[in-house]
Amino acid sequence: MRRVLLASLTTLALLAALPVRAESREGARHAAWQACLDAAFAEQIRTTSRSFAATKAVSTCQDREEAYLGVLAGSPLLDGEDVTRIRPALVARARDRLMGERRYSAL
């Protein structure tokens, strides 16, 4: 378990260190996912709590998330196993961003 956590942290640190360029495939897919999350959250927050709106936005934009993660899995730095391992942390960060919370960790 500890080895898996360390590998995940290393992979996430590598991802965080790489600049995501908007003109790259990764950057375009990431921007599309973030835009979808923002729009879905803005629509849901009118009638529900922040927490539920963030959860609903994540589920609504799952197709764009999968497209982004698919591009990441095809990159030379990551493989499908790496992406599967870091997905929960990426989704948690996206959800926290929508709710206005900060994560004080390496993830």
Inform me whether the pLDDT recorded for 4 exceeds 90.
Answer: no
Give burial (CB, 10 Å; 0-12/13-18/19+) of 101: middle
Inform me whether the pLDDT recorded for 45 exceeds 70.
Answer: yes
- Average model confidence (pLDDT) for the chain? 81
Q: What percent of the chain is predicted at pLDDT more than 70?
A: 74
Inform me whether the pLDDT recorded for 17 exceeds 50.
Answer: no
Q: What percent of the chain is predicted at pLDDT more than 90?
A: 57
pLDDT of residue 16: 44
Mean pLDDT of 99-105: 68
Q: Are 72 and 83 in contact (CB under 8 A)?
A: yes
Q: Of the candidates 89, 87, 88, 94, which has an alpha carbon nearest to the alpha carbon of residue 34?
A: 94
